[in-house]
Amino acid sequence: MQREMTNGNYLSKAEDDRISFEILRKSGSPHNVMGRLAQQVCEKQLKHLICLGEGITAEDSYKIPNIPEYKKHDLVYLAKRASDDGMIQVSTTFSERMRKLSRFLTDTIYPDSRYSHDMTGRDIVFCMDCIDHCSHITAKALKAYDERQEAKLQAMAEFEKHMEKTPVDEDVFDIDEDYDDRL
């Protein structure tokens, strides 16, 4: 069900970034953009969960409301918001990983960043672990979301079936004969 919403937005874009990260990783030399790609994978997965949790439609998904400009790339903030929406549970480990990964958005691509540095093999392993962790949490959340949606559909179908079998009490719908005269 959640896949209906993903064509051309957050979840599909996260997958594009993950594939790009993997291509660079397999090339054998650390590319500084890999940190940014890893951060973007997690950011887009979390934003997708926020959209689902807040009922934001596909066409509005790039306009997630109430994210302060300075927080739009903050993975800790986005994870907390997805948690507040009931989509995920955020562990201390996950929150700490997202905090560290958030710095890769700028630290490995801008030379004037306070923590500026080139990607190392250790950084790449950390980024891979973060992608895996966030992807696991996202997959689990999407499965639970689909199950909730399916349960809602089943409940609606059962209600409709019940309503079809329930005889209509015609007296409930009798209009007071004097009603028209009082108008």
160 Cβ partners below 8 Å, 6+ apart? none
Distance CA 154, CA 157 (A): 5
62-92 pLDDT, tens digit per residue, is 667 778 888 989 999 999 999 999 999 999 9
117-171 pLDDT, tens digit per residue, is 788 889 999 999 999 999 999 999 999 999 988 988 888 888 887 777 766 666 5
CA dihedral sign, ordered 131, 133, 135, 138: negative
Instruction: Report pTM.
Output: 0.78
When the pLDDT of each residue in the chain is averaged and rounded to a whole number, the result is: 83
Six token digits for residue 115: 């923590």
Q: Report whether CATH 1.20.120.330 matches the domain 2-167.
A: yes
pLDDT at 1: 41
Segments making up each domain of the chain, as ranges: 2-167
Distance CA 69, CA 73 (A): 9
